[in-house]
C-alpha cells in the first residue's frame, strides 16, 4: 500500500510518454517462399490501436488470422525505467502457385489518427524457399521482428488407447483417440486416418457428435483432454494385429520466451506476470498418435461344436411359426431371432433344414443394433417364407445356434423347438391366389408356375380356303401402290406451291398483318406508345409488300401507289392507304403526345386492311 502512489506515478509517466511519441505500424514476412510452404505475415504496432483494417491477400491461402497477440518489455537504464507494449496481428499463409504477389497495406487507428503499413512483396518459387528470418521492406523505422513461438513436445500431443490389448478373436474392444493440450488450438483436421486391418470396425461417435472433454493433470501439468474418435473393433483373426497411427494438423497458440529482467528486484517482481512477461505466437503443428499392438487370442478348440460360425458374446435365441395347419400351396412364415451383446452384426446365416416337399426362399434379414461404449447390442431376425406343395404331416427339425460366451469362457448351443406342420389338401380356389405381407413380395401367383396337361376334350373347326391367289388378295396388294401415287402427287403440288414465293406471301399477307395488329392492340391497352406505332407501321407496310410482291428495297409510297392503281382499286382506298402510311410514320417519329391518337390510328389501320382485302376479291 505504501508503494501505491509510486506505482501510479510510474504508470502515468509511461502512459504519457507512450502517447506522446509517434506510433509505428510495420509489416514483416518472408520475401521468398516455396509453393506449398506455410509462413507468417505479421503486422506490428507499438501503441494501442483500434479498427484494424485487413489487407487484401491474393495468391495465398489464409490458414488462420488475423491472430492478435501482445508483448511487453521493461527497460531500466541509469535508474530510469521504461515500459513498451507491442501489438501484433499475425496471419498464417500458404503459398499456392509460383509468381510475385503484392499484399496491400493494412491500416489501424491510434488516438484518432490512421496509420498504414507498407505493402508486402512476396515471391513464390518452385523449390524450397529461403530460410532467412522474416524481414520487412527497407526504409522502415522502428520495425519489430517477432520471435518464432516454440512449442515443447509435451504442450500438445495425440494418444491412442485400447480398452484391451489381449482380446479373444471376435471379442469387441474400444479404441479411443485423445488429444492433450496445454495451449489453445485451432483448425484441427485429420490428415491420415488410422487403418484397422484385420478388424471389423464401428464408429461410436456419430457424425457431428463431440466426444467427452475434461481436465487431467499429468506429471503436475494441467491438460485439457478431448476425445476425437472412438471406435469399437472386433478382431476377425487371431495373432498380433497392428493399428497404424492417426495423424492430425492443427494451429497452436504457444508462449514466446519471457522478456529479460530489468535488474531491479522491485520492478521484476511487480511486472513478472502474464500481462508483462508473456506473449503468444501461432505455429502449425503435426500430431501423430502412437501405434497400437493388439495380441488376439484364438478361440479354444476344446469343446468347439461343428456348427460354430464365429459368434462371440452373450446371446438369446428364439423362433416363431405363424401357423401349424395350412393347406397346400399356402405360405407359412418361420422366424428366428438372435438378440444380445457381441459381434451380432457378423451373424449372417443359420443352419436351417426344410423338408424336400417345401418350396423355400432366401430369408429376409432385419437388423436393429445399438452402438454404445460397452459394445454393440441389439437383435437380428431371419424370416423364412416356406410353401408346402403337397398335403401331409411334416416336421421342421430344431435349428442350432452356437456362440462363445465371454463370461463363461465356453461354447453354448441354443436350440429352437421342433415344429410339426399339418398340410391339408388344397382347393382349386388357391391356384392363382395373390399373397402379400412380410417376406412374400417375391410370391405373386402361387400354383401358376407349372401348368398341368389339359385332359378334357377339345372342339376342332375346319379352316377356310387359301387366301393367296384370290381376287381379294390382288386387290389388297394394289391398295399400297395407289396410296403411294396419291401421296406423291400431293407432295409434288405442295412443293410447287411452296416454290411460288409471291403466291405464298400473298396468301399470308392478311394473316401476318392481323397478327401484328393483335400485338399493337396489346401495346394499346398498356399505353406503350413506341412499340404500338412500330407494330402499326410494320402491319401496313408488310401487308402491302406481301400482297403485291414488293421487295423491302423497293417498298415506298410511290411503289405502293402504283401497285394499288394497277389493281384498279377505288381512288378513295388508295388515297386513304397512302395517307395512313404517311400519318403513321409522322406520328411515330414526331415529337408530342402520341397516346391521344393511338385508338384512332389502330381503328383506321384495321379498316383500311379490311377494305383493301374486300376490293381485291
Confidence bin at 152 (pLDDT 50/70/90): very low
More confident residue, 319 or 539: 319
Pick the closest to residue 94 from 187, 157, 228, 190 (CA basis).
187
Confidence bin at 492 (pLDDT 50/70/90): confident
* pLDDT at residue number 255: 62
Highest mean pLDDT of the ranges 151-160, 332-341, 563-572, 593-602: 332-341
First to last CA, the chain: 121
CA–CA separation, 56 and 72 (whole Å)? 29
DSSP summary character for residue 272: -
- Residues 201-253: pLDDT tens digits? 888 876 556 667 888 888 888 888 988 888 889 998 899 999 999 998 888 87
* pLDDT at residue number 159: 93
Average pLDDT over residues 13-32: 68
User: Considering the chain, what is the average pLDDT of its residues?
Assistant: 77
Task: Name, in order, each residue with C-beta under 8 angstroms of 12's C-beta and a sequence gap of 6 or more.
Answer: none
- Report helix angle 598-616 to 501-526, nearest 10: 160
Residue 406, SS3?
Answer: coil
Check pLDDT > 60 for residue 430.
Answer: no
Q: What is the dihedral of CA 138, 140, 143, 147, to 10 degrees?
A: -20
Check pLDDT > 50 for residue 431.
Answer: no
CB 193 within 8 A of CB 162: no
Confidence bin at 281 (pLDDT 50/70/90): low
* pLDDT at residue number 145: 32
- Residues 435-471: pLDDT tens digits? 433 444 444 444 445 555 666 666 666 665 666 777 7
DSSP summary character for residue 380: E
* pLDDT at residue number 206: 67
Check pLDDT > 50 for residue 522.
Answer: yes
- Burial class from Cβ neighbours inside 10 Å (0-12, 13-18, 19+) for residue 547 reads buried
Average pLDDT over residues 349-363: 86
Question: What is the phi/psi pair of residue 410, to 5°?
Answer: -150, 165
Question: What is the phi/psi pair of residue 572, to 5°?
Answer: -65, -40
DSSP summary character for residue 305: -
Task: Name, in order, each residue with C-beta under 8 angstroms of 260's C-beta and a sequence gap of 6 or more.
Answer: none
pTM score of the predicted model: 0.44
Check pLDDT > 60 for residue 12.
Answer: no
Amino acid at each position: 500500500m505504501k508503494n501505491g502512489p509510486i506505482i501510479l506515478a510510474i504508470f502515468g509517466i509511461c502512459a504519457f510518454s507512450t502517447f506522446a511519441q509517434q506510433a509505428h505500424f510495420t509489416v514483416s514476412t518472408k520475401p521468398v517462399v516455396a509453393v506449398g510452404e506455410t509462413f507468417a505475415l505479421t503486422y506490428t504496432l507499438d501503441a494501442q490501436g483500434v479498427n484494424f483494417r485487413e489487407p487484401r491477400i491474393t495468391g495465398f491461402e489464409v490458414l488462420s488470422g488475423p491472430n492478435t497477440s501482445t508483448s511487453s518489455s521493461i527497460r531500466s537504464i541509469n535508474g530510469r525505467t521504461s515500459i513498451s507494449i507491442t501489438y501484433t496481428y499475425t496471419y498464417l499463409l500458404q503459398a499456392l502457385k509460383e509468381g510475385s504477389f503484392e499484399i496491400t497495406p493494412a491500416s489501424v487507428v491510434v488516438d484518432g489518427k490512421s496509420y498504414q503499413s507498407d505493402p508486402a512483396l512476396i515471391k513464390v518459387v518452385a523449390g524450397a524457399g529461403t530460410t532467412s528470418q522474416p524481414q520487412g521492406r527497407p526504409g522502415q523505422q522502428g520495425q519489430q521482428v517477432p520471435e518464432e513461438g516454440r512449442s515443447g513436445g509435451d504442450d500438445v500431443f495425440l494418444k491412442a488407447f485400447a480398452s484391451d490389448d489381449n482380446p479373444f478373436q471376435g471379442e469387441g474392444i474400444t479404441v479411443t483417440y485423445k488429444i492433450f493440450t496445454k495451449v489453445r488450438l485451432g483448425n484441427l483436421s485429420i490428415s491420415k486416418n488410422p487403418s484397422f486391418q484385420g478388424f471389423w470396425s464401428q464408429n461410436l461417435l456419430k457424425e457431428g457428435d463431440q466426444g467427452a472433454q475434461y481436465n487431467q493433470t499429468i506429471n503436475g501439468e494441467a491438460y485439457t483432454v478431448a476425445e476425437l474418435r472412438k471406435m469399437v473393433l472386433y478382431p476377425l483373426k487371431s495373432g498380433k494385429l497392428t493399428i497404424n497411427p492417426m495423424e492430425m494438423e492443427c494451429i497452436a497458440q504457444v508462449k514466446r520466451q519471457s522478456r529479460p529482467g530489468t535488474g531491479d528486484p522491485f520492478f521484476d517482481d511487480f511486472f513478472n506476470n502474464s500481462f508483462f512477461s508473456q506473449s503468444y505466437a501461432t505455429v502449425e503443428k503435426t500430431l501423430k498418435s502412437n501405434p497400437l499392438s493388439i495380441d488376439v487370442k484364438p478361440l479354444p478348440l476344446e469343446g468347439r461344436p461343428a456348427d460354430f460360425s464365429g459368434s462371440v458374446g452373450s446371446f438369446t435365441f428364439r423362433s416363431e411359426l405363424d401357423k401349424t395347419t395350412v393347406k397346400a400351396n399356402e405360405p407359412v412364415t418361420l422366424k428366428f431371432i438372435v438378440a444380445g451383446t457381441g459381434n451380432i452384426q457378423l451373424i449372417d446365416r443359420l443352419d436351417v433344414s426344410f423338408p424336400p416337399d417345401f418350396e423355400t426362399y432366401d430369408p429376409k434379414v432385419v437388423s436393429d443394433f445399438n452402438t454404445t461404449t460397452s459394445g454393440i447390442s441389439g437383435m437380428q431376425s431371419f424370416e423364412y417364407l416356406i410353401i408346402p406343395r403337397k398335403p401331409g404331416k411334416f416336421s421342421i427339425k430344431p435349428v442350432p445356434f452356437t456362440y462363445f460366451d465371454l463370461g463363461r469362457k465356453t461354447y453354448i448351443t441354443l436350440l429352437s423347438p421342433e415344429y410339426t406342420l399339418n398340410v391339408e389338401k388344397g382347393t382349386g380356389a388357391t391356384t392363382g391366389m395373390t399373397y402379400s405381407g412380410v417376406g412374400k413380395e417375391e410370391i405373386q401367383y402361387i400354383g401358376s408356375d407349372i401348368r398341368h396337361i389339359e385332359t378334357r376334350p377339345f372342339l376342332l373347326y375346319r379352316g377356310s380356303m387359301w387366301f393367296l391367289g384370290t381376287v381379294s388378295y390382288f386387290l389388297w396388294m394394289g391398295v399400297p401402290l395407289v396410296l403411294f401415287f396419291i401421296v406423291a402427287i400431293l407432295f409434288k403440288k405442295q412443293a410447287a406451291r411452296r416454290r411460288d414465293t409471291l403466291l405464298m406471301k400473298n396468301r399470308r399477307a392478311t394473316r401476318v398483318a392481323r397478327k401484328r395488329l393483335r400485338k399493337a392492340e396489346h401495346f394499346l391497352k398498356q399505353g406503350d406508345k413506341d412499340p404500338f406505332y412500330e407494330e402499326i407501321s410494320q402491319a401496313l407496310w408488310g401487308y402491302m409488300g406481301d400482297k403485291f410482291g414488293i421487295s423491302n428495297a423497293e417498298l415506298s409510297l410511290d411503289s405502293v401507289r402504283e401497285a394499288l392503281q394497277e389493281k384498279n382499286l377505288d381512288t378513295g382506298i388508295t388515297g386513304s392507304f397512302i395517307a395512313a402510311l404517311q400519318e403513321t410514320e409522322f406520328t411515330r417519329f414526331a415529337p408530342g403526345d402520341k397516346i391521344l391518337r393511338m385508338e384512332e390510328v389502330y381503328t383506321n389501320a384495321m379498316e383500311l386492311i379490311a377494305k383493301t382485302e374486300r376490293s381485291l376479291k
